[in-house]
Amino acid sequence: MAHLEARGISVRFGGKAALNDTTVLVERGAVTGLIGPNGAGKTTLFNVVCGLQAPNAGRVLLDGDDVTRKAPHRRARHGLARTFQRLELFTSLTVRDNVRVGGDIHKSWTRGRRDTAAEAERVLELTGLASIADREVAEIPTGQARVVELARALMTRPTALLLDEPAAGQTDEETAAFGRLLRRLAGDGLAICLVEHDMTLVMDVCETIHVLDYGRTIAVGPPEQVRDDPAVIEAYLGTPEGV
Amino acid sequence: METFLQYTILGLVAGGVYGIAASGLVVTYTTSGIFNFAHGAVAMLSAFTYWQLRFGWDWPAPLALVVVLGVLAPLLGALLYGVVMRGLRGTSEVARIVVPVSVMLGFLALSTWVWDPTPRSPRLFLMFFGAGNTVSIGGVNLAWHEITAVVIAVVVALGLRFLFFGTRTGVAMRAVVDDPDLLELNAGRPERLAMASWALGAFLAALAGVLITPMMGSAMSAHALTLLVIDAFAAAMFGRLRSVPRTFVGALVLGLLGSYVIGYFPSDRWTWTGNFRVSLPMITLFVVLLFLPQDRLRGATVLRSRERYRLPSVRTAVVAAVVLVAGMWLLRGILAPTAVNHMAFGMSMAVIALSLVLLTGYAGEINLAVLSFGAIGAIIVHHFGVSGSGGDARSTLFGYAAAAVVCALVGALVALPSLRLRGLYLALSTMAFGVFVSNMLLRDITERQLPLLHTRFSIFPSGNLGVPRPKFGPVDLVAMPTFLMFLTVLFAVLGVGLIALRHSSYGRRLTAMKDSPAASATLGQSLVTLKLSVFMLSAAIAGVGGALMTAQIGSANLDRFDIFLSLTLLMLTVVGGIGYVSGALFGGIAAGVLFVALQNTFDKLGVDHPDLEGFFEFLANLTLVLPALMGVSIGRNPTGAVEKILVDFGPVRRVRPVLVAGIATVGVAYVLARNETISNWWLIVVTAVVIGVMPQAAKRWAPGPSEAAVDGTALPAADGADLPLELVGVVRPYTVADREMLDAALDVPAGKG
């Protein structure tokens, strides 16, 4: 059984199906890719998994427990964390405090004795944000802002991590460093699900890739296999007749 | 059975008029996303204008109706949207609530300016077709006016249904709020549609106002008509502020309930029956809130966050607190006894305003009835916290502690139904609670036998709640100057405490929730728990502050806790800067002292100089409208006045000679005032001039390079060496070098484009 499972998820907005019986499994110790054209339903799936969107059908299992009906904060306390495609940083706080508040929240419900300040410094160091820690988040470039979201999520000590287009807005060097960081985190035992358009990054770090199109899974497998899958090529480039 | 039928018919009539008012609210909310708190005020202004034309100037009714309903009201609505509300798209929820509230307060002030609230003869607004012109339906004598109202309600309900679902304009109107950008792409014009809907909303408000005023029976009251908005939103809540049909159902339910309460509650035995009927919409509102489904969690809804609060360090806060206490001590030495009185009142209001800084400034939630919690605090101290009697009576520490606890609990009850919903719903709940407190608790003035307890008791005995000044251990605060210093110290201590709180883990979590509820929740924060805790803490501060305010006056009647005063305090605190402790000081002093003092001064000047009386009367009235104008300006400067002063004074702190000269000038003036060589007015004038001149002087004498150096540290990498490209032009001006660099990077021949 995978650590994080979204099984048979369907979401309809009015008459339009955003997700149609989609299943995604995310194992610990690996990065699982989730790709597909814009509007394929990737972000909707993330919202369902973390509890911001109730599905019309399907179940979400985290570490074997059914969390489908649980509130977002309950799932977070169960070990789930995410980043947002449309950045959701705390704009009144500095980079350091954005990261630290993740620890504050975690501490508030674990009731443990922790030095969140010191822990935040370690995470800032790990993610390469230490040099901009005192800046306002509104001032930093998007690429780095996405790393702040990741750092903040790490402060909650998650077991499963959902990353929604973390490399968008990053320079090539930043993306390369980010890939190394992801592999390191996966190596530490995290279950990571990555939504990303940067194919170099996806092919580089993912062990398994799920491809979504119009709310349906059209391919699942290791990168080499998915890359050559005719259905995937068609979804991205259009039908051969159309070309 | 026959009486039942009669009350049903009367209830349907009342419900119909509620429905007209409520549907106007729904129309503006669906199309602009802004809840129009001024809806009732528009109805009020329209009713008064109609009265002026029809009964004041004896115009024929049809002409007056056409002018008011057909021209003035829609014009007012369109203007409101065009001038004020349009600028609120994408601002914070606080601005989108406080600005319409300011408009409402402004309209109210305007109406008391034009129409003297205590006229020599009461203004009578007669029914259309005459009150005596009735027909009997089902054993009830209904005036033609009432029948007309029901018919109009039906026409409005059907008309709106047709507009929204049967016409292109209506469908587009519904699309506006969902996604204005998308609509614009599809060649819709969201701005024009929103303006049209505000015109329609104002027309419906005016229609309701003109119909309901004669049915309210007694002489016209601006306050009562303005509060119509609460009855209306209680009805609109049935349709979640969106659905017109359900809003009409809600209106009918409210009308019927009210009618049955009058019919079947024994008003002689239950002294509270009348109060209960008036409070019915608020009670219904709470029940409806309990059944509303949970909102989808939103991310940062603020698209262009213009508020930026700098957080002072705890050390700076302590220094400021000491300066405040010392300053007040010096000021106390030269103030006349009445001025000390006013100042103490202002400081007690500032303590209450601190609760708003915590709740709104730090946590982003809104309480529109902060003084109602103050009233609860005062009631608790009056009943359970007074020792001694007569001149020796003192309020006790136990009383204030009990007030804090009870207010926190009441706050939890008020907030719980709406905590899982959006901030607007909490704001509406508090407003309903405020009116409920004013109508039910503060009007419970006759003593009655309590069942089981065998004591006689009333919540607000004889309409005047006495709270003596406190004595804590050996410290007796009965003398007003001492009490003023106590309030100042309390404010300073609470203020430093709040800033320390904001620096704590709890404070960061509050800020996180304010900035992005969705991100907070996905990090594991239970939003309900956090909102509940901060609301309770804030209510406790407000309760203690309200009890102290009552102690300052000695005894307070229910006007002291009026919802409009709560709104004014909130508005002025936001004007000062809701994210700052000093914003609370500004709000409290402005609400409690400044505008009262200005108005008194102008009144006195008017009496002293009869030839200029008209001019001073104008100024006095202007000071009534002024706060509202300041409130409306929040949309343009949401961070507040204190922030602006801080920015202006930035250079002063770096130019020592100017700083020293300024302080010395004020110091000399103070000494002269203390010797009574000059009057306090001169001290005020000198201080004002110094404050105005100092920033200019500092700019003038600032040593050039050092200023640049200081700015350089404030803005990282001003030389542009490692400045990210997207920030060029934002944090520092765009230069020729930048363009050459861009040209090179994009491979464009230099100098083109």
HSE-up (13 A, CA, CB side) for residue B699: 7
Chain A residues inside the 8 Å CB shell of B731: 139
Which residues in chain A touch residue B523, judged by CB atoms under 8 angstroms apart?
Answer: 73, 76, 81, 101-102, 105-106, 152-153, 155-156
Pull the structure tokens for residue B229. Answer: 């908005």
Q: What is the DSSP string of B208-274?
A: HHHHHHHHT-SS--HHHHHTHHHHHHHHHHHTTTT-HHHHHHHHHHHHHHHHHHHHHS-TTT-TTHH
Counting every residue written for chain A, the total comes to 243
The answer to whether the CB atoms of B505 and A156 lie below 8 A apart is no
Which residue of chain A comes nearest to B726, CA vs CA?
A141
A141 touches chain B (CB under 8 A): yes
What's the rounded Cα separation, in Å, for the pair B366 and B360? 5
The answer to the question of residue B687 being in a domain is yes
CB A182 within 8 A of CB A192: yes
Is the domain of B39 the same as that of B184?
A: yes
Which residues of chain B make contact with A160, given a CB cutoff of 8 A?
A: none
B299 contacts in A (CB within 8 Å)? 84, 86, 88
Say how many CB pairs under 8 Å bridge A and B: 106
> From the CA of B147, how many Å to the nearest CA of chain A?
41
CA distance B729 to chain A (A): 12
Residues B200 and B102 in one domain: yes
Same domain, yes or no: B553 and B486:
yes
User: Counting Cβ atoms within 10 Å, is residue B123 exposed (0-12), middle (13-18) or buried (19+)?
Assistant: middle
- Residue that has been written with the tokens 């499963």 in this structure: A160
Residue B730 phi, psi (nearest 5): -100, -55
Q: Domain limits of chain A?
A: 1-79+158-243, 88-157
Task: Identify whether B702 is part of a domain.
Answer: yes
Evaluate whether residue B563 is within a structural domain: yes
Of the candidates A52, A81, A116, the beta carbon closest to that of B518 is on A52
Among the ranges B57-61, B147-151, B371-375, B427-431, which has the highest mean pLDDT value? Answer: B371-375
Q: Give the residue on A whose Cα is nearest the Cα of B725.
A: A141
Contacts with A85 (C-beta within 8 Å, 6 or more apart), sequence order:
A43, A164, A165, A168, A195
Amino acid at B280: L
Are B334 and B457 contained in the same domain?
Answer: yes
pLDDT(B644) > 90: no
Q: How far apart are the first and last CA of chain A?
A: 41
How close does chain A come to B296, measured CA to CA in Å? 7
Which pLDDT score, from 0 to 100, does residue A13 have? 83
> According to the model, what pLDDT value does residue B730 have?
57
In angstroms, the CA A235 to CA A230 distance is 9
Q: Which range has the worst mean pLDDT, A124-138, B192-206, B251-265?
A: B251-265
B457 and B537, same structural domain?
yes
Under an 8 A CB cutoff, do B505 and A116 touch? yes
How high is the pLDDT of residue B706? 45
Nearest Cα of chain B lies from the Cα of A92 at a distance, in angstroms, of 7
B707 and B722 inside one domain: no
Given CB atoms, is A62 within the 8 Å cutoff of chain B?
no
Residues in B closer than 8 angstroms to A93, CB to CB, are 508, 511-512, 515
Whole-angstrom distance, CA of residue B14 vs CA of residue B731: 59
Q: How far is A202 from chain B (nearest CA, A)?
A: 24
Q: Regarding predicted confidence, which is higher, B642 or B211?
A: B211
Helix or strand or coil: residue A129?
coil
Paired residues of A217 in beta bridges = A212
Average pLDDT over residues B390-395: 88
Of A137, A144, A36, which is closest to residue A92 (Cα–Cα)? A137
A69 and chain B: CB distance < 8 Å anywhere?
no
* pLDDT 10s digits, B681-694: 888 888 888 888 88
**Phi, psi at residue B655, to the nearest 5°?**
-110, 90
Residues B556 and B464: beta-carbon distance below 8 Å: yes
Torsion of CA A19, A23, A26, A27, to 10 degrees: 180
Cβ atoms within 10 Å of B672's Cβ, excluding its own = 16
Q: Are residues B278 and B381 in the same domain?
A: no
Distance in Å, alpha carbon of B527 to nearest chain A alpha carbon: 8
Which of A46, A90, A148 to probe the B interface (max B CBs under 10 A)? A90
Residue type, B59: W
Residue B594 Cα, gap to closest chain A Cα (Å): 31
Does B307 map to a domain? no
Query: Mean pLDDT, to the nearest integer, of B111-137?
Result: 79
Residues of A in contact with B524 (CB under 8 A): 73, 76-77, 105-106, 109, 156
Residues B187-192: contacts with CB within 8 Å, 24+ apart? B191/B86
B720 and B710 fall within a common domain: no
Pair B570, B498 in one domain: yes
- What contacts B478, CB < 8 A, 6 or more positions away? B394, B468, B469, B471
pLDDT above 70 for B668? yes
Q: How far is CA A47 from CA A12, A90, A164, A168, B522, in A?
A: 13, 19, 10, 19, 10
Which residues of B sit within 8 Å Cβ distance of A?
296-297, 299-300, 305, 308-309, 505-506, 508-509, 511-512, 514-516, 518-527, 716, 724, 726-727, 731
pLDDT at B399: 95
- CB < 8 Å to A76, chain B: 521-525
The whole-number pLDDT of residue B557 equals 87
ipTM of the complex: 0.93
What CATH number has the domain bearing residue B247? 1.10.3470
Alpha-carbon gap: A102 to the closest alpha carbon of chain B (Å): 6
pLDDT at B229: 74
Mutating which of B516, B523, B528, B529 best tests the A interface, going by the most A Cβ atoms within 10 A? Answer: B523
For residue A14, count CB atoms less than 10 angstroms from its CB and return exposed for 0-12, middle for 13-18, buried for 19 or more. exposed
Do B677 and B605 reside in the same domain of the chain? Answer: no
The H-or-E segment that residue A79 falls in is none
| B703 and B579 fall within a common domain | no
Average pLDDT, chain B: 84
Domain A1-79+158-243 belongs in CATH node 3.30.70.330: no
Q: Residues of B with CB below 8 A from A101's CB?
A: 508-509, 511-512, 523
Q: Say which of A72, A88, A153 has its CB closest to residue B516.
A: A88
Quickly count: other Cβ atoms within 10 Å of residue B222's Cβ: 21
Nearest to B522 among A76, A89, A90 (CB): A76
pLDDT tier at B226 (50, 70, 90 boundaries)?
confident
Find the range with the poorest average confidence among B467-481, B691-705, B717-731.
Answer: B717-731
CB A99 within 8 A of CB A124: yes
Domain of residue B198 covers: 2-116+143-291
Average pLDDT over residues B586-603: 84
Q: Does A57 touch chain B (CB under 8 A)?
A: no
Q: Do A71 and B521 touch (CB under 8 A)?
A: yes
Position A162 scores a pLDDT of 96
Chain B residues with beta carbon closer than 8 angstroms to that of A92 = 308-309, 511, 514-515
Predicted confidence at residue B175, as pLDDT, reads: 66
Point out which residues pair with A19 in neighbouring strands.
A11
Taking the Cβ of residue A42 and every Cβ of chain B, the question of whether any pair is shorter than 8 Å is answered with: no
CA angle A184, A186, A188 (to 5 degrees): 75
Residue of A nearest to B526 (CA): A73
Note whether residue B315 is domain-resident. no
CA-based nearest residue to B86, from B32, B35, B49:
B32
CA distance B188 to B97: 27
The candidate with the shortest Cα–Cα distance to A44, out of A200, A162, A159, A182, is: A162
> Rg (Cα) of chain A, in Å, rounded?
18
CA–CA separation, A84 and A43 (whole Å): 9
Q: Kind of pairing, strands B475-476 and B471-472?
A: antiparallel
Question: Which residues in chain B are contacts of A51 at CB distance < 8 A?
Answer: 521-522
User: Quick one: average pLDDT of B181-207?
Assistant: 80
- Summarised one tens digit per residue, pLDDT across range B578-589 is 999 999 999 999
B300 lies in some domain: no
Of A86, A105, A141, the CB nearest to B509: A105
Please report the DSSP string for B182-218 in residue order: HHHHTT--HHHHHHHHHHHHHHHHHHHHHHHHHHT-S
DSSP β-bridge partners for residue A164 = A195
Last residue of a domain, one of B599, B634, B669: B634
Q: Is residue B298 part of a domain?
A: no
- Collapsing DSSP to helix, strand or coil, A216 comes out as strand
Q: Find the mean pLDDT for residues B49-62.
A: 90
* Mean pLDDT computed over B372-388: 93
From first to last of the 243 residues of chain A, give the pLDDT tens digit.
789 999 999 998 877 888 999 999 999 999 999 998 888 889 999 999 999 989 999 999 999 999 999 999 999 999 999 999 888 999 889 999 999 999 999 999 888 788 899 999 999 999 999 999 999 888 899 889 999 999 999 999 999 999 999 998 888 999 999 999 999 999 999 999 999 989 899 999 999 999 999 889 999 999 999 988 888 888 877 665 543
* % of residues, chain B, pLDDT over 70: 87
DSSP for residue A5: E
A169 touches chain B (CB under 8 A): no
Given a cut of 60, whether residue B372 has pLDDT beyond it is: yes
Per-residue pLDDT, A243: 39
**Closest residue of A to B301, CA-based?**
A88
Which of B300, B527, B727 shows the shortest C-beta gap to A88? B300
Query: Tokens standing for B395?
Result: 């309020």
Q: How far is B412 from chain A (nearest CA, A)?
A: 20
CB nearest to A139's CB, from B509, B512, B731: B731
The Cα-based distances of B623 to A51, B360, B596, B708 in angstroms read 51, 26, 9, 41
- The overall longest dimension of chain B from CA atoms, in Å, is 95
Which strand (E) or helix (H) includes residue A160?
Answer: strand A160-164
> Is-contact A35 A211, C-beta < 8 A?
yes
CB nearest B299 (choices: A84, A102, A140): A84
The answer to whether B103 and B632 are in contact (CB under 8 A) is yes
Q: Which residue has the higher pLDDT, B569 or B750?
A: B569
Searching chain B, which residue's CA lies closest to the CA of residue A152? Answer: B523
Task: Answer yes or no: is pLDDT of B500 > 90.
Answer: yes
Nearest to A82 by CA among A176, A201, A189, A165: A165
For residues B616 and B375, the model is more confident at B375
With an 8 Å Cβ cutoff, are A81 and B300 in contact?
Answer: no
Contact criterion met (CB < 8 Å) for A88 and B526: no
Q: Which of B188-202, B558-572, B614-628 has the lowest mean pLDDT?
A: B614-628
Do B94 and B112 lie in a common domain? yes
- Chain B residues within 8 A of A153 when measuring between CB atoms: 523
Domain count, chain B: 4
